[in-house]
Amino acid sequence: MWHRSASFILDKQEQQRNDAAESRPISPASIAMKENPSANVSMYYQTRAEHHGVVTSDWLAQAQTAVAGNSDDDVAQSNGSGGEEMDKMFSVVDEFNNWRKQPDLAEAVAAIRALASAIRSSQAKTMMELEIELKKASDSLKSWDATSISLTAGCDLFMRYVTRTSALDREDFGSAKSRLLERAEKFGEISYKARRIIAMLSQDFIFDGCTILVHGFSRVVLEALRTAVENKKVFRVLCTEGRPDRSGLRVSNELAKLDVPVKLLIDSAVAYSMDEVDMVLVGADGVVESGGIINMMGTYQIALVAKAMNKPMYVAAESYKFARLYPLDQKDMVPALRPIDFGVPIPSKVEVETSARDYTPPQYLTLLFTDLGVLSPSVVSDELIQLYL
Amino acid sequence: MVRHQCACKILQPTNTSPDTIAGGGCFDAEETGRKTIGGCMKDSGEDRCSGKGRCGNCGGKTAGTFGPCVLSQLSQSGVEMKGWTESKFLLSCNKNPLCWVTELHHPGEGGKTAGGNSANTTKSAKPAPQKKDNSSVAASERKGGDRQTDKDRKKDVPHPRMQFDDENRVEKAKKRSVVKQAEARNRVELFRHLPQYEHGARLTDLESKFFQLGPVHPAVYKVGFRYLTGDISGGNARCIAMLQAFQESIKDYSTPPEKTLIRDLTSKINCYVSFLIECRPLSISMGNAIRFLKRRITSLPLNLSESEAITSLVSDIDRFINEKIILADNVIVKHAVTKIRDGDVLLTYASSSAVEMLLLHAHELGKRFRVVIVDSRPKLEGKMLLRRLVGKGISCTYTHINAVSYVMHEVTRVFLGASSVLANGTVYSRVGTACVAMVAHQFRVPVLICCEAYKFHERVQLDSICCNELGDAEMVSRVTGREDINSLDGWTSSENLQPLNLLYDATPSDYVSMIITDYGMIPPTSVPVIVREYGREYLLI
């Protein structure tokens, strides 16, 4: 509501008056069955919190009620629909959720494994049919959680691979199908290898005696730091707390196990400590076409401070996270909300900014460490064009 | 190997070692790296060396331009160099792209200055041939080893434009030109290298010449006329009109006896192009379209009958217009519409066809937004856009470019069109665009450029001066509808007053947030990627 010009406030008020005059036609029953039951909360960030965050009792209670809500919805849905189609699609999402629960598995790999199981269970006899089924499965996965970028990117990648394979239609259906399955299996390995490659590439940038600022729980970044320890490098890490997930606590645990000197900062202390930092190293939930990244809330802030103080900012991301999105500003993305627990009850009149992620434009990033090599942000679009066009 | 001696008899190559110099003629793949000398004018009916000749091997016509490093390479290979000046030519045959003929020129030949421009002088002698054609523009880097690829690449690079501040060349161009033009008075020194002519006289002159313009097809003539009067303006409109005129002329074409279709048609197209250039300098999109057409003509298989060739070309042009312009616009609109949210205030400058389509489509989809149209003199193109948008029911604000920093604070997105996007991400567009983009950048408002991919170009431009177009200076002093504003009347008599009416400017890539093309939404740094990956495709289809 608080836009920049007075004319807007007037427009908005008029609009609100108009809205109040109309009746609200939407009823809960008409919400599509495929939709995420807890529509306001991003499943992706919930899962991440489950894996990486510190669980508070409040949050646990919320999660339990959410799960109870889920099972109610499940029952309702399976009673409501009877078609084989619905079951199949539902099973893809089920599969995906199962895979996703494993903490060490990347999101995109989970998606691809779910799609692979869709292939396995499909009854199609020709390549075209299979492709169509896969497209449906992929679309349902994407709509299940519209906020997860690596999920979307992983699905897109796999679909691209499928269409490219189906274009060479010379062999029989069975072998093509098995080739797709093989590829899906391989993808998991590729993902794991990608982390190793990125860890190796980043070794050149971690020098003895350096201080690294880390934000958010990224398995890639942890792998890089682990490798650095194995290479007997001496460095220390400043780690932000990362509210509301408190992922920083988990990171500091891991690093302490590796005997790396760790210092924990609250999120507001980043600017205060930026003087003693040599570089910032973060992971990414998604890398967008402009070369910017989408990552946990707080990354943009840190990038701004780092730029102002001339500290390099490095991003470690696998290449399957490259997505064909192009946000122009912070609000230009699909909103991903997360419940925030302040520890004390908040009066209902007070709004809370619950977005779980932000967008860091490419001019604040120095380099991207990917399994394709060490890239500058403008190369991302190059890669995407070659991949998708 | 056949050896030729130039009619000027200066050249007597003494070194005949087979690995450095061969005498005149084609070489194919395994002979790359050799220079050939020859290209005699002997049978061409001219009695002196003029830098043009025939390929010693296949007899095709050669085109000339020179490279100073040829000199050094030749001297290294032991050819006698006495009495030679810097004006040396490295020619290649048009007929066979692998033909290389080096003709070494008599030092007495006057008026040649350094650089590729000397080719222009000789080229102006025939108004058409190789202005846009690219057979071996010898640049300074000539490496023996990859001459093949260099040459192929150079074939793609269009020839640099003629610089109008050299007297000799302008004189020669005038002699051959179809349209008689008087140069404008009181020209600005900084822009002397751009053509500028008196506006009023051309029209009547052309009209009187209508029945004498034999070589120019009436459809092309009509289009040229419309360019002159300013009837058609805007990159897409001009390109489509030109291509349709060419289509008409190709449909009416018939090969004259003893000539091949490909070469004759190419020279006819060149003739039309030079006529159009005289009416109004080509835009970059038109240049790309012409390159496409010429490529299609030269790649016609030789065994096609004339009617088949004609139908093939006509359908190619149709396909180009359809795929690269009309469908491309649809794709652009589809992508760009996702960037418009309810409650947006969109700013646009002057009138761009792509942006107009986008706004109308977004309105049809029911998005709630309002538009600020920024306009500027002397063209005031925004007025027509305003009329059309208001006619469809979109709420618009109209203001002059002076006020752009005043309105920018409430704007959420800026949509601009482009005449072309250059390889370093610079946007070449209507004058004033750079201003708007700069102010938007200052206010942290995202700037989105809507541009079809066929307008991309591999040229790089760092400022708005080296390549631009000058409009009618009279329009600066007069305001239509306000006869009482006449303080600049009589500017032609004052020596100190030089009005300037620029038509284009270059917006640096830092001010541009994204470019929306038919290949999707890309950052400005990715323009050379599109040119590289799809350059073949969008020119050759």
* Cα A325 to Cα A129: distance, rounded to the nearest angstrom: 29
End-to-end CA separation in angstroms for chain B: 38
Number of residues that make up chain A: 389
The Cα of B343 is separated from the nearest Cα of chain A by a number of Å equal to 8
Tokens of A181: 């399955």
**Contact between chains at B522 and A289 (C-beta distance less than 8 A):** yes
Q: Does B215 touch chain A (CB under 8 A)?
A: no
Q: What is the pLDDT of residue B425?
A: 92
Per residue in B92-140, pLDDT (tens digit) is: 444 444 444 444 443 443 333 333 333 333 333 333 333 333 333 333 3
Tokens of B34: 């050799």
Tokens of A294: 């989408």
**Contact between chains at B519 and A389 (C-beta distance less than 8 A):** yes
* Cα A86 to Cα B240: distance, rounded to the nearest angstrom: 50
Q: What is the DSSP letter of A290?
A: T
Per residue in B156-202, pLDDT (tens digit) is: 445 556 677 777 777 777 776 666 667 777 788 888 888 877 766 66
Residue type, B135: S
* Cα B489 to Cα A86: distance, rounded to the nearest angstrom: 79
Q: What is the gyration radius of the CA atoms in chain A, in angstroms?
A: 23
Q: What is the pLDDT of residue B36?
A: 38
**Contact between chains at B413 and A386 (C-beta distance less than 8 A):** no
Mark which residues 409-448 of B lie under 8 Å from A by CB: 409-410, 413, 446, 448
The Cα of A287 is separated from the nearest Cα of chain B by a number of Å equal to 13
Mark which residues 474-533 of B lie under 8 Å from A by CB: 513-514, 519-523, 525-526, 529-530, 533
Mean pLDDT calculated for residue range B454-460: 91
Give me the half-sphere count of Cα atoms (radius 13 Å) on the Cβ side of residue B459.
21
Is a pLDDT exceeding 80 seen at residue B146? no
Q: What is the pLDDT of residue A152?
A: 84
**Contact between chains at B343 and A8 (C-beta distance less than 8 A):** yes
Q: Does B343 touch chain A (CB under 8 A)?
A: yes
* Cα B271 to Cα B275: distance, rounded to the nearest angstrom: 6
Mean pLDDT calculated for residue range B14-20: 41
Reported as a pLDDT band with limits 50, 70 and 90, residue B65 is very low
Per residue in B239-250, pLDDT (tens digit) is: 999 999 999 999
The Cα of B428 is separated from the nearest Cα of chain A by a number of Å equal to 21
* Cα A57 to Cα A38: distance, rounded to the nearest angstrom: 20
Q: In this structure, how many other beta carbons lie within 10 angstroms of the beta carbon of residue B403?
A: 12
- Rounded to 10 deg, the angle between the A149-167 and A379-388 helix axes is 40
* Cα B355 to Cα B346: distance, rounded to the nearest angstrom: 11
- Sign (positive or negative) of CA dihedral B69, B75, B79, B81: positive
| Closest by Cβ to A7, choosing from B410, B526, B530 | B410
Q: What is the pLDDT of residue A11?
A: 60
| Nearest chain B residue to A4, by CA | B410
Q: What is the pLDDT of residue B125?
A: 34
| Closest by Cβ to A324, choosing from B413, B520, B529 | B520
Which among A1, A7, A11, A381 is the top mutation candidate for probing chain B, defined by the most B β-carbons within 10 Å of its own β-carbon?
A381
- Rounded to 10 deg, the angle between the A127-144 and A84-100 helix axes is 60
Give me the half-sphere count of Cα atoms (radius 13 Å) on the Cβ side of residue A136.
16
Burial class (CB in 10 A: 0-12, 13-18, 19+), A32: exposed
Ranges A78-92, B369-383, B511-525: which has the least confidence? A78-92
Is a pLDDT exceeding 50 seen at residue B150? yes
Mean pLDDT calculated for residue range B337-365: 95
Report how many Cβ contacts below 8 Å link chain A to chain B.
Answer: 59
Contacts for A339 with CB less than 8 Å, ≥ 6 apart: A41, A59, A62, A244, A354
In the sheet that holds B91-93, the strands lie side by side as B25-26, B99-101, B91-93, B62-63
Dmax (CA) for chain B in angstroms is 80
Strands (E), B230-353: 344-349
Per residue in B288-335, pLDDT (tens digit) is: 999 999 989 988 888 888 899 999 999 999 999 999 999 999 999 999
**Contact between chains at A332 and B533 (C-beta distance less than 8 A):** no
Q: Does A383 touch chain B (CB under 8 A)?
A: no
**Contact between chains at A378 and B525 (C-beta distance less than 8 A):** yes
The Cα of B510 is separated from the nearest Cα of chain A by a number of Å equal to 10
Number of residues that make up chain B: 541
Alpha-helical regions (H) of B68-109 = 68-76
Cβ-Cβ contacts under 8 Å, B513 against chain A: 290, 328
Per DSSP, the residues of B484-522 read T--TTTTGGG-TT-----B-EEEE-GGG--EEEETTEEE
Task: Name the one residue in this structure whose structure tokens are 């391989």.
Answer: A186
Contacts for B222 with CB less than 8 Å, ≥ 6 apart: B245
A304 versus B378: which is more confidently predicted?
A304
* Cα B356 to Cα B358: distance, rounded to the nearest angstrom: 5
* Cα B336 to Cα B472: distance, rounded to the nearest angstrom: 35
The Cα of B368 is separated from the nearest Cα of chain A by a number of Å equal to 10
Which among A290, A334, A375, A386 is the top mutation candidate for probing chain B, defined by the most B β-carbons within 10 Å of its own β-carbon?
A290
Burial class (CB in 10 A: 0-12, 13-18, 19+), B133: buried
What stretch of H or E contains A314? strand A313-316
**Contact between chains at B526 and A7 (C-beta distance less than 8 A):** no
Cβ-Cβ contacts under 8 Å, A8 against chain B: 343, 345, 410
Indicate the pairing of strand B427-430 with strand B420-421.
antiparallel
Mean pLDDT calculated for residue range B500-509: 93
Q: Does A328 touch chain B (CB under 8 A)?
A: yes
* Cα A278 to Cα B304: distance, rounded to the nearest angstrom: 69
* Cα B319 to Cα B333: distance, rounded to the nearest angstrom: 20
* Cα A336 to Cα A327: distance, rounded to the nearest angstrom: 14
Task: Name the one residue in this structure whose structure tokens are 């790296």.
Answer: B33
* Cα B422 to Cα B442: distance, rounded to the nearest angstrom: 23
Which among A1, A326, A384 is the top mutation candidate for probing chain B, defined by the most B β-carbons within 10 Å of its own β-carbon?
A326
Q: What is the pLDDT of residue A63?
A: 57
| In contact, A378 and A291? CB cutoff 8 Å | yes
Contacts for A108 with CB less than 8 Å, ≥ 6 apart: A150, A151, A153, A154, A157, A187, A191, A318, A320, A321
Cβ-Cβ contacts under 8 Å, B450 against chain A: none
Of B324, B264, B234, B272, residue with least CA distance to B132: B272
What stretch of H or E contains A214? strand A210-215
**Contact between chains at B520 and A290 (C-beta distance less than 8 A):** no
Q: Does A289 touch chain B (CB under 8 A)?
A: yes
* Cα A377 to Cα B81: distance, rounded to the nearest angstrom: 52
* Cα A365 to Cα A360: distance, rounded to the nearest angstrom: 8
* Cα B300 to Cα A355: distance, rounded to the nearest angstrom: 59
Which among B345, B399, B510, B537 is the top mutation candidate for probing chain A, defined by the most A β-carbons within 10 Å of its own β-carbon?
B345
| In contact, B412 and B344? CB cutoff 8 Å | yes
Please list the pLDDT of chain A residue by residue as tens digits (389 residues): 444 444 555 566 677 777 766 544 443 333 333 344 444 667 777 776 666 555 555 555 565 666 655 444 444 333 333 334 444 555 777 777 777 777 777 777 788 888 888 888 887 788 788 888 888 888 888 888 777 888 888 888 888 877 777 666 566 777 878 888 887 788 777 777 889 999 999 999 999 999 999 999 999 999 999 999 999 999 999 999 988 888 899 999 999 999 999 999 999 999 999 999 999 999 999 999 999 999 999 999 999 999 999 999 999 999 889 988 899 999 888 888 888 888 888 888 999 888 889 999 999 999 999 999 999 999 999 888 887 77
A340 versus B204: which is more confidently predicted?
A340
**Contact between chains at A389 and B522 (C-beta distance less than 8 A):** no
Q: Does B345 touch chain A (CB under 8 A)?
A: yes
Q: Does B536 touch chain A (CB under 8 A)?
A: no
B44 versus B276: which is more confidently predicted?
B276
> In this prediction, what percent of chain B has a pLDDT beyond 70?
65
Is a pLDDT exceeding 80 seen at residue B258? yes
Is a pLDDT exceeding 50 seen at residue B237? yes
3-state secondary structure A129-191: HHHHHHHHHHHHHHHHCCCCHHHHHHHHHHHHHHHHHHHCCCCCHHHHHHHHHHHHHHHHHHH
Q: What is the pLDDT of residue A62?
A: 61
Q: In this structure, how many other beta carbons lie within 10 angstroms of the beta carbon of residue A257?
A: 9
